[in-house]
């Protein structure tokens, strides 16, 4: 599996200084030439997957490649995105700075994809946590001729008005958009509002006071884009936490998650899955048109 690496350092640090500095890695952290990546995506649909906040380079390689291995998307090619989402100072306190890094990474990625992914049939995106800002910023900057097939935001650590306000244009681009949200997500309940307030106060001009879209979905005060699937709330009794969407180290070589026969979101009180990361992968598989 290939990765687009926008990091300047394996741990901490910021975003690379230019599009030409983006490196191509595989899941073993080995560098590959750009030509190999272009050959792999030619004539295929591409799913770009990224991690969230407080994830260094090696963790990102592991979590994203493990989750991609649980998908079952036919001939589509999964590509990971690495960005400097790991805390440089103190968790939560530097969350506003990480948001800026997410924006910077997204701007570089949109230029990179517009220049180098013209041979792909379509582009789709999946993100976890603050990675939502990375992919939305990327979509916002893509060449208008690029077909964006699908978007999945898991535990999005971004304002619940984002798809109708800050990233309204990006929100309209995908043919199909899905959200996964959980009220059991303690990170989004406590750390996100604190960090978001600081972000608004010091870097945006007006304090953000909205909840995260990854807690209860879009704000009822705004009208979401029509391309969003109606269901997004994970049942409360599943106790789905912020770290439950992407798997860490997986023993052996697990098989991809089974493909659900129909696209049906679980109802309240339904039994929790045996593997939460496998369920999130099966959810994406079921929504893949």
Rounded distance between C-alpha atoms, residue 243 and residue 240, angstroms? 8
String of DSSP letters for 215-284: HHSS-TTS---TTB-S--BPPGGG---GGGSS----SS-PPPPPPPSS--PPPTTPPPPS-HHHHHHHHH
CB within 8 A of 130, min separation 6: which ones? 52, 53, 85, 95, 98, 99, 102, 157, 158
Strands, E assignment, the chain: 2-5, 23-26, 31-32, 45-50, 77-82, 122-128, 148-154, 176-180
Per-residue pLDDT of the chain (289 residues; tens, 9 = 90+): 999 999 999 998 999 999 999 999 999 999 999 999 999 999 999 999 999 988 999 999 999 999 999 998 999 999 999 999 886 544 443 344 447 899 999 999 999 999 999 999 999 999 999 999 999 999 999 998 899 999 999 999 888 999 999 999 999 999 999 999 999 998 887 655 544 443 433 333 333 456 889 998 998 888 989 999 888 999 999 999 999 999 876 555 455 555 444 345 677 778 888 888 988 998 999 888 7
Closest CA to 265 of 237, 223, 234, 239: 234
Could you tell me the domains of the chain?
2-287 (3.40.50)
Please give the pLDDT value at position 208: 45
Q: What per-residue string of b and e applies to 153-191 under the rule 16 or more CB within 10 Å gives b?
A: bbbbbbbbbbbbebbeebbebbebbbbbbbebbebbeeb
pLDDT of residue 212: 87
State the Cα–Cα distance between residues 246 and 69, nearest whole angstrom: 11
Distance CA 265, CA 237 (A): 14
At 100 the pLDDT is: 85
Q: Give the residue among 212, 185, 181 at the shortest CA–CA distance from 196.
A: 212
The pLDDT of residue 32: 98
Quote the pLDDT of residue 205: 32
Q: What is the DSSP letter of 12?
A: S
């Amino acid at each position: 599996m290939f990765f687009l690496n926008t990091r300047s350092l394996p741990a901490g640090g910021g975003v690379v200084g230019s599009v030409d500095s983006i490196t191509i890695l595989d899941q073993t952290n080995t560098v590959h030439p750009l030509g190999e990546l272009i050959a792999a995506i030619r004539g295929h649909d591409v799913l770009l997957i990224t991690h969230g906040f407080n994830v260094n380079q090696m963790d990102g390689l592991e979590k994203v490649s493990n989750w991609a291995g649980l998908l079952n998307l036919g001939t589509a090619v999964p590509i990971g995105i690495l960005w400097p989402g790991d805390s440089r100072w103190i968790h939560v306190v530097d969350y506003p700075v990480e948001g800026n890094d997410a924006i910077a990474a997204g701007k570089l990625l949109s230029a990179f994809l517009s220049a180098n992914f013209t041979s792909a049939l379509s582009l789709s995106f999946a993100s976890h946590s603050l990675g939502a800002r990375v992919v939305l910023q990327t979509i916002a900057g893509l060449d208008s001729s690029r077909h964006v097939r699908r978007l999945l935001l898991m535990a999005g650590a971004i304002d619940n008005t984002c798809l109708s306000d800050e990233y309204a244009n990006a929100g309209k681009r995908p043919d199909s958009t899905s959200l996964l949200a959980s009220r059991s997500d303690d990170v989004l309940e406590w750390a996100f509002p604190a960090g978001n307030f600081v972000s608004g106060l010091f870097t945006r001009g007006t304090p953000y006071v909205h909840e995260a879209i990854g807690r209860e979905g879009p704000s009822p005060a705004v009208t979401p884009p029509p391309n969003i699937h109606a269901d997004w709330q994970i049942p409360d009794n599943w106790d789905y936490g912020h770290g439950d969407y992407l798997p860490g180290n997986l023993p052996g070589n697990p098989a991809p998650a089974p493909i659900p026969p129909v696209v049906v979101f679980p109802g309240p009180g339904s039994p929790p899955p045996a593997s939460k990361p496998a369920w999130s992968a099966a959810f994406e598989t079921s929504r893949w048109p």
